[in-house]
Amino acid sequence: MTETPAARQQRVWDRAAPSYDKQIAFLEKIQFGGGREWVCSRAIGDVLEVAIGTGRNLPFYPKDVRITGIELSPAMLDIARRRAAELGISADLRQGDAERLDFGDDTFDTVVCVLSLCTIPDNAKAISEMHRVLKPGGKLLMLDHIGSQWWPIWAGQRLLELLTARSGEYMTRRQLPLVRAAGFEIIEAERLKAGSVERIAARKPS
């Protein structure tokens, strides 16, 4: 039987879970510094974090938000639940697929997605789902690595992608056009690190 893209991603992240925090901590220092704080500080109300991973965003949310998190990988989710317990955060953390969110329309005030759309098989579908579950006027907050606008850097990313795509990670995707195409209004968008990192704050029209 052919493995589905979602099943492959679950297998990849289940295997990566034990060492993920150690590996990403180094990358965050040199590539994504301050990104989690930038995203989470803008969250309000009922928050859905899509692909919550091991819960590395949890310490950065405002105290008054109510957090729901979904994650495809049970192994990653187990770590996120332990982190929430250690932090004393009451969060609803459950297994779920970003491309098929198990929530009704117009449910959340904020949707957060950090360093994950680079690996979700159908990122456009995932963004469309985020739009669906947001309340009118709700916020979408994102951080991801993207294809640089500097050609030499993009070329290096594209070469690396020939390897990483085998495990479902894409280095040259860019989410902003997909966010616009899904019907969001852009509030803030900035590119950092020679255009290879993007932060986005967007709004679902009322």
Q: For residue 148, how far is the Cα from the chain centroid?
A: 19
CA 140 – CA 47 distance, rounded (Å): 10
pLDDT of res. 31: 85
Domains of the chain as residue ranges with CATH: 5-145+173-203 (3.40.50.150)
Q: What residue ranges of the chain have pLDDT lower than 50?
A: none
pLDDT of res. 160: 86
pLDDT of res. 12: 86
pLDDT of res. 90: 95
pLDDT of res. 1: 63
pTM for the full predicted model: 0.93
Burial of 189-200, coded b for 16+ CB within 10 Å and e otherwise, reads eebeeeebbbbb
- According to DSSP, the β-strands at 134-145 and 197-203 are antiparallel
pLDDT of res. 202: 98
pLDDT of res. 25: 87
pLDDT of res. 150: 81
